[in-house]
Amino acid sequence: MVSDPAVELLARHIRDVPDFPKPGILFKDITPLLADATAFRLSVHQLAERIAPLRPTIIVGVESRGFIFAAPVAERLGLGFVPVRKPGKLPYRRVTESYDLEYGSGTLEIHEDAVQGERVVIIDDVLATGGTAAGAARLCQKQGAEVLGFGFVLELSFLNGRRPLGSHPIISLLSY
Ligand code: AMP
């Protein structure tokens, strides 16, 4: 976790939305954080600062809210950005992986030449069950990339999302 005033500032800008997108899900809405210049900058800077020591060569972001954080973190670290996308969005030859998540299941794709031989850190907004991030990691590993760790703005620790991510370092700015 980041220092207390920073945690408080970020936490103040996360909105809980009950029963979205399905009954029983408490959705963590990050749009107030994005709309606040100080909170958004702080989240990007904290992620970049804590990811830098892993010494990645490229940053992978998971569609769609992961892109919002992964792209500025990559830019701040002087690195490139690679999108992991939902099916049918990437134009070139793709590698595909299916995964389970808190409210359903899904499929992710990456361009087949995007992360070969790279040292990657994978970024998303929320770590819930870990299915999405684990699927993104498998995609990268299928291409011979080394997964160094993961970065999230927040994690829902009661869903044990760290378990499917193995022993890789997991950075999350807020934990619920
Ligand atoms: P999971 O694969 O279960 O770790 O789910 C992570 C993905 O689903 C992330 O891309 C999140 O954006 C989204 N997600 C899952 N649960 C929530 C939640 N309670 N609030 C906000 N986003 C969520």
The token pair at 121 is 């850190």
Which pLDDT value is given to residue 171?
Answer: 98
Sign for the CA dihedral angle at 54, 56, 60, 65 comes to positive
Which pLDDT value is given to residue 105?
Answer: 82
3-state SS assignment for residue 116: coil
Q: pLDDT under 70 in the chain at which residues? A: 1-3, 102-103
| Distance from the alpha carbon of residue 102 to the mean position of ligand 1, in angstroms | 7
Query: Beta strand pairing status for 80-84 and 119-127?
Result: unpaired
Mutation to probe ligand 1, out of 65, 102, 123, 127 (largest number of atoms < 8 A from CB): 102
Chain position carrying tokens 């808190």: 102
User: Domains of the chain (ranges plus CATH)?
Assistant: 55-175 (3.40.50.2020)
Question: 65 CB under 6 A from ligand 1?
Answer: yes
Which pLDDT value is given to residue 56?
Answer: 99
d(C-alpha 94, C-alpha 110), whole Å: 5
CA dihedral 122, 124, 128, 131 (to 10 degrees): -50
What is the rounded end-to-end Cα distance, in angstroms, of the chain?
11
Which pLDDT value is given to residue 103?
Answer: 62
Residue 128 near residue 101, CB atoms below 8 Å: yes
DSSP 99-127: EEETTEEEEEEEETTSSTT-EEEEEEEEE
Q: In 62-102, which ranges are continuous DSSP H helix?
A: 65-77
3-state SS assignment for residue 17: strand
Which pLDDT value is given to residue 104?
Answer: 72
Chain centroid offset of residue 168 CA: 14
Nearest-atom index, ligand 1, CA of 124: 10
* Residues with catalytic function: 65, 102
Nearest-atom index, ligand 1, CA of 129: 3
d(C-alpha 143, C-alpha 18), whole Å: 38
